[in-house]
Structure 1
Amino acid sequence: MFKHILPLFREKTGIDVKVVALGTGQALDAARRGDADVVLVHDRPAEDKFLADGFASRRYDVMYNDFVLVGPSSDPASVRGLGVREAFAKLAAAKAPFVSRGDRSGTHGAELRAWKDAGVDLPAARGDWYRDVGQGMGPALNTASAQSAYLLADRGTWLSFKNRGDLVILVQGDPSLFNPYGAMLVNPEKHPGVKAEEGQAFIDWLVSEEGRQAISSFKVGGEQLFFPATGKTAGP
């Protein structure tokens, strides 16, 4: 998406943005060290802690998509069409092959919450059926495709992913699968080197009508990957 929206922002403001793509946990760690000016992430509990710890003063709703549970079309665990809690409980009971990102990303956080909501004690239940790859969404999807395993993916990456093999979407639409993205300016009082003016300009543009239109117009195969949020803010 950034290849689509950043030229529009640069044309509007003359500001260049350098993107370092990391999972949410790694991105917030980098911001805590002062190695980022702005974070755009999607793990609300982790974002709230980042705010509470004083590393940012405000969170901006930017966009959203949703998570989907994908798996082999034969669906050996019989989770097709179920709600998230029931589906994850059945996956654990069946010890169905499952691939986890295992990288402290927003998607990994959502997966861990799904196990917990399903009443699954993952540390006790996990075994050879649970495959923690410790990598990003693309490699995790490739592993799931090669091994005909289940996996929780964000819809945007799923739509742009080509190596699906026998994987199909089996569970979607559950309210718990909602996946909001928030932007935060790193607190310059914590790290004086933060480019606060430029960073805030980028956030303001993202939540402006022009930014919202840029987000909406990004499509893959004719399908919209992200939907702009209302631009509401939240903070302590």
Structure 2
Amino acid sequence: MYDITMRNRVLVMLDQGLTLSEVSRRTGVSRYAIREWRLRVEQGRDLYVGGPRDCPRCAELPRPPDPPGAYSHLLGLYLGDGCISPVGDPAKSVWALRVICANAWPGLMQECADSIRAVRPENKIRFIPREGCTEVNSHSKHWTCLFPQHGPGMKHTRKIELAGWQQEIVDEFSEEFVRGLLHSDGWRGTNRVRRKLKDGDHWYEYPRYNFTNVSSDIQRLFTDALDRLGIPWTQMNRKNISIAKRDAVARLDEFVGPKH
């Protein structure tokens, strides 16, 4: 967890006119954490809250998880490549949040860990090697409270919908939600198209984003967020959604960009 000195340093750099991406590159702090710290200051909340925290959903007066931007990002990662499973003695009701990240993208693993740490700062985070990938793993009694989408079977075999408090977070922090989904089940690449013309074949190249998920419910959550952000999309087939218009790709590049 970043201390107050680092947080203040980041805010000074933002005040000097540096962009989120520039500050992230210079400090190694994720864009999500930087955005959250800036939002805390703008909203008059404490910049740093240390020590253990109770589960906000189990409180006498349930409240949304804090910080909401990090939660929205983590929700996207969970819906894409995450799962929740019991750990050890069932009587202890301990759950493991597992997010699978390809080894080719170490930056994605770190951003996932940053969001977990922001939402549950008292939780230990483990990086467990798997074949061709790494499992970012964290144990808590409260993951099922924070992600009520948990249930038996794979996500595409059951109904996936957001609770009211989750929808409010995703509505406000749609960029973070889309980033989490795309960095788990999406990619940014170059599409090549061949056109047959009189003088021979011509190849055209253009960048695009593609999101792949078998669950129609998760697809809808993704496209609803794109609609809120004013980003046009196309349903390519039953499980693939494409964002290929130049302005739309440029808009996603502002807060998503290629995996790293």
TM-score, normalization by structure 2: 0.26
TM-score, normalization by structure 1: 0.28
- Greater RCO (Cα-Cα under 8 Å, separation 6 or more): 1
- The structure with the largest alpha-carbon Rg is 2
